[in-house]
């Protein structure tokens, strides 16, 4: 490991290698101000070491006046006999950002204007290309003296070939800088390889651009929008992560020019550790280590261990789950803590290399512990199972007595979990799914993984399949096949896309579904797919044929009958019998909300008794009608056929007592009937008296007024009751008779429920009772301090109230309508 390099230097205007730009279009390069280029140029000192930066792209405009002085020989990999002339413009854009000449009275200024551009044409005129030419371009650059290779392009596919090329560059101390991509998805390759500096983009307000790819491989961000050189000697505005990456490459050239003894790793680390942290403290998936700060990269001292202080778990340095770093245990007592966030369940793989024979102990928060030393098999990682979320690991020296520090290299990777449907890579191993609509989540956890599923359908119906993914590294594909028949392939989307089948008719039999990635991946993919199966069985109406009245299905009382309509003309007839005069109830539920159902009621002579329909958008229809004993029919229709779900029909009948369907057999039945016949009470108008429902103060006052036939009234002055209230007149009469009173705050509380004590007091006042003071409390839950004790004593002593069997009265509980009516009848009969 190299010693700490002191980067802070005193710079005078005469020493500066890069004076302030006077280029006429510098004013349009606002992105340079975001990365503090003027301060960086001032700090560059007098070093003029020329760093060669290879631009592996569409070529470069070799005659552009702002570039022509800063070019070295390159190569055209597509047509080796020709020069690497740009026929697209992208490569020229990139080159200008890095090394456009400064203060030449032309155009713009490059970030590292004394750097040399090596143009390598590896992409077609439309900007497309493959990994073979990309790898060849990187290797050419390494072999012909480039120190930095910028790759403003990307692929979604990992390959062992490209991984080997990237390692070749690292082994030869060449820094690779690559754009992450612009699809709001996973970081593209080669940016995604651990030793490549992956660069995303930010907006002018230093927010991650929504189009910039992101993820655990992201290292830095730089401005998204630039103004740069263009084909034909011109200039233009451009945007994208492919414009962000060359800014980092230019910054690297400045750092390497000033500190030529640095390694590629150290340059990469210096840019990361001096970045302007934008989001949460430390690394994050949207902005990496932060925004490129060229001035800080040239002035801040390089740290061999940039993660200190991280001696405790609460100081743990956050690492990407795919990374390669170097650090130091400074002494036997030093501990290094790291935090790694996993987006899924799976396994963290960790490679740890050091030169100390005593070794380093690695302990995960799960309790698993490993020892790494110079005798370890460095080709095999430590592998630890983790759950989605944060995992901590602690590193410390095995030798707790040692006097010197230990330098180490740490590399991390991640393998996603194996989904619960494995092993289903073969058709004969297909995982059986239930016959219904469902959503499942799966993974491609190993090389060449494909997933087979099978559905055994017992009913005809329709089916639609939808396959989506959460990463651009999967190009999803569905294969659908009925056993013994030709398969159907569904593959219309691209990387990270969605595949949706048409609505397909299916019949009883065995159906296979294969989910795969059309990319030939040589490693597990960190990402999930979601398979949605929409299955609608063709249901069978069990009551057919019942299209005519004489075919009507007999419906027993309180039983449920299901049905559907297979044509627009379909009707369903049901017959039911009323054993005695009473209230018939017909309830239809589970109606599709996109349908309207109609119900027509007939008597035994098929004379219409009523026509009903449900409100559109509701899933039920309810009707009730008083009928005499006899046979009746109900005819059901819908405005449009439906077979995806069954409606449910339930018919019931109730005996009416005094016009109410809910008091037969009730303990207060006689009292309710008597007051109903006298016109004192009337219920709620829907054949319901609701005897067990609480009674309100307004209702109680109204009933008392009617029962006592009160006529005189007093104007009310309650703040919560005006003349428009439905009970105003009755409350006014009850107030005049001194039967009711308001509350101390000036309100009456007409809609408040009446307590048992208030009920007792009202009825006592109606009999001019004022209460008694002598004697003990008649109830064990009412003490001497209770406000209504006197009334309770008198009412109990005179036999009007008795309380409960346990000797309690529950004075503050709500009084029911039945209780009030029952007591009122006693009062009226006194």
End-to-end CA distance of the chain: 108
Q: Which of 23, 36, 57, 673 is catalytic?
A: 57
CA distances from 238 to 25, 116, 267 (A): 15, 22, 27
d(CA 666, CA 673): 11
Compute the distance between CA of residue 234 and CA of residue 94 in angstroms, rounded to an integer: 14
Reduced to 3 states (helix: H, G, I; strand: E, B; else coil), residue 309 is: coil
Containing 531, the helix (H) or strand (E) segment is strand 529-537
Q: Quote the distance between the C-alpha of residue 74 and its chain's center.
A: 48
Residue among 242, 324, 516, 673 flagged as catalytic: 242
- The residues, any chain, with a CB within 8 Å of residue 528's CB and separated by 6 or more, are 344, 416, 441, 442, 443, 469, 470, 471
Token pair, residue 523, equals 């490693």
Place of tokens 């060849």: 136
The reply to whether 90 belongs to the active site is yes
Does residue 94 contact residue 243 with C-beta atoms inside 8 Å?
yes
Cis ω for the linkage preceding 309 (within 30 of 0): yes
Q: Are 779 and 803 in contact (CB under 8 A)?
A: yes
Given the residues 36, 64, 90, 322, the one annotated as active site: 90
Residue 57 bears catalytic tag: yes
The burial of 749, by beta-carbon neighbours within 10 Å (0-12 exposed, 13-18 middle, 19 or more buried), is given as middle
242 is catalytic: yes
Beta-carbon contacts of residue 815 (< 8 Å; ≥ 6 apart): 694, 695, 700, 753, 754, 755, 756, 758, 759
Three-class DSSP category at 118: strand
In whole angstroms, give the CA distance from residue 584 to residue 3: 95
Helix (H, G, I), strand (E, B) or coil at 152: coil
Closest to 25 (Cα-Cα) out of 227, 226, 232, 251: 227
Q: What CA–CA distance (Å, rounded) separates 485 from 443? A: 28
Give the catalytic positions in this structure. Answer: 57, 90, 242
């Amino acid at each position: 490991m190299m010693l700490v390099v002191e980067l802070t230097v005193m710079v005078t205007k005469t020493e500066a290698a890069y004076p302030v730009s006077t280029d006429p279009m510098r004013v349009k390069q606002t992105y340079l101000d975001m990365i503090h280029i003027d301060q960086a140029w001032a700090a560059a000192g007098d070093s003029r070491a020329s760093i060669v930066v290879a631009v592996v792209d569409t070529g470069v405009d070799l005659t552009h006046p702002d570039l022509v002085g800063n070019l070295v020989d390159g190569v055209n990999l597509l047509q080796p006999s020709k020069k690497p002339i740009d026929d697209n413009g992208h490569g020229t854009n990139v080159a200008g950002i890095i090394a456009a000449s400064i203060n030449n009275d032309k155009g713009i200024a490059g970030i590292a204007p004394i750097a040399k551009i090596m143009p390598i044409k590896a992409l077609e005129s439309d900007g497309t290309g493959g990994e073979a030419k990309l790898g060849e371009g990187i290797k050419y650059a390494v072999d012909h003296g480039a120190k930095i290779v910028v790759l403003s392009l990307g692929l979604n596919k990992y390959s062992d070939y490209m991984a080997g090329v990237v390692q070749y560059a690292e082994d030869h101390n060449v820094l690779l800088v690559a754009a992450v991509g612009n699809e709001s998805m996973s970081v593209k390759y080669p940016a995604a390889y651990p030793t490549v500096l992956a660069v995303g983009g930010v907006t002018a307000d230093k927010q991650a651009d929504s189009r910039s790819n992101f993820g655990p491989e992201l290292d830095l961000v730089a401005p998204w929008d630039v103004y740069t050189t263009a084909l034909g000697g011109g200039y233009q505005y451009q945007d994208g992560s492919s414009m962000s990456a060359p800014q980092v490459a230019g910054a690297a050239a400045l750092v390497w020019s000033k500190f030529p003894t640095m390694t590629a790793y150290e340059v990469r680390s210096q840019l990361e550790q001096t970045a302007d942290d934008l989001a949460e403290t430390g690394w994050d998936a949207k902005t990496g280590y932060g925004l490129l700060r060229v001035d800080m990269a040239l002035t801040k001292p390089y740290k061999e261990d940039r993660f200190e202080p991280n001696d405790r778990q609460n100081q743990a340095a956050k690492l990407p789950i795919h990374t390669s770093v170097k650090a130091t245990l400074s002494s036997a007592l030093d501990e290094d803590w790291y935090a790694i966030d996993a987006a899924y369940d799976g396994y963290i793989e960790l490679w740890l290399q050091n030169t100390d024979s005593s070794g380093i102990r690695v302990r995960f928060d799960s309790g698993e512990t490993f020892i790494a030393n110079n005798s370890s098999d460095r080709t095999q990682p430590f592998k630890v199972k983790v759950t989605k979320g944060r995992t901590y690991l602690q590193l410390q020296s095995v030798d707790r007595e040692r006097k010197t520090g230990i330098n180490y290299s740490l590399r991390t990777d991640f393998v996603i979990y194996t989904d619960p449907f494995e092993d289903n890579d073969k058709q004969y191993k297909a995982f059986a799914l239930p016959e219904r609509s469902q959503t499942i989540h799966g993974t491609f956890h190993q090389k060449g993984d494909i997933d087979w599923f099978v559905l055994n359908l017992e009913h005809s119906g329709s089916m639609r399949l939808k396959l989506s993914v959460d990463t651009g590294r999967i190009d999803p594909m569905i294969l659908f096949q009925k056993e013994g028949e030709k398969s159907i392939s569904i593959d219309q989307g691209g990387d990270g896309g969605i595949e949706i089948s048409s609505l397909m008719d299916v019949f009883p039999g065995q159906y296979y579904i294969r989910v795969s990635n059309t990319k030939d991946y040589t490693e597990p993919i960190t990402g999930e797919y979601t398979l949605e199966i929409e299955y609608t069985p063709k249901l069978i109406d069990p009551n057919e044929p019942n299209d005519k009245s004489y075919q009507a299905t007999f419906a027993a009382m309180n039983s449920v009958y299901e049905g559907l309509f297979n044509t627009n003309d379909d009707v369903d007839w049901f017959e039911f019998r009323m054993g005695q005069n009473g209230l018939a109830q017909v309830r239809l539920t589970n109606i599709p909300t996109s349908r309207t159902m109609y119900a027509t009621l007939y008597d035994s002579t098929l004379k219409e008794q009523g026509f009903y329909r449900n409100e559109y958008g509701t899933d039920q229809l309810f009707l009730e009608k008083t009928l005499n004993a006899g046979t009746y029919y109900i005819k059901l229709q819908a405005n449009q056929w439906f077979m995806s779900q069954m409606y449910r029909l339930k018919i019931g009948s109730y005996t009416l007592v005094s016009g109410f369907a809910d008091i037969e057999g009730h303990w207060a039945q006689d009292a309710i009937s008597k007051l109903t016949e006298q016109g004192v009470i009337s219920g709620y108008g829907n054949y319901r008296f609701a005897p067990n429902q609480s009674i309100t103060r307004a209702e109680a006052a109204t009933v008392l007024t009617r029962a006592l036939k009160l006529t005189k009234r007093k104007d009310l002055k309650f703040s919560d009751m005006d003349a428009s209230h439905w009970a105003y007149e009755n409350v006014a009469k009850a107030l005049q008779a001194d039967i009711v009173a308001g509350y101390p705050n000036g309100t009456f509380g007409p809609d408040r429920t009446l307590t048992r004590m208030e009920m007792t007091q009202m009825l006592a006042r109606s009999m001019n009772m004022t209460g008694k003071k002598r004697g003990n409390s008649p109830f064990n839950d009412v003490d001497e301090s209770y406000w209504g004790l006197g009334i309770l004593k008198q009412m109990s002593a005179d036999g009007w109230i008795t309380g409960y069997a346990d000797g309690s009265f529950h004075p503050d509980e709500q009084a029911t309508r039945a209780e009030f009516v029952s007591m009122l009848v006693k009062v009226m009969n006194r």
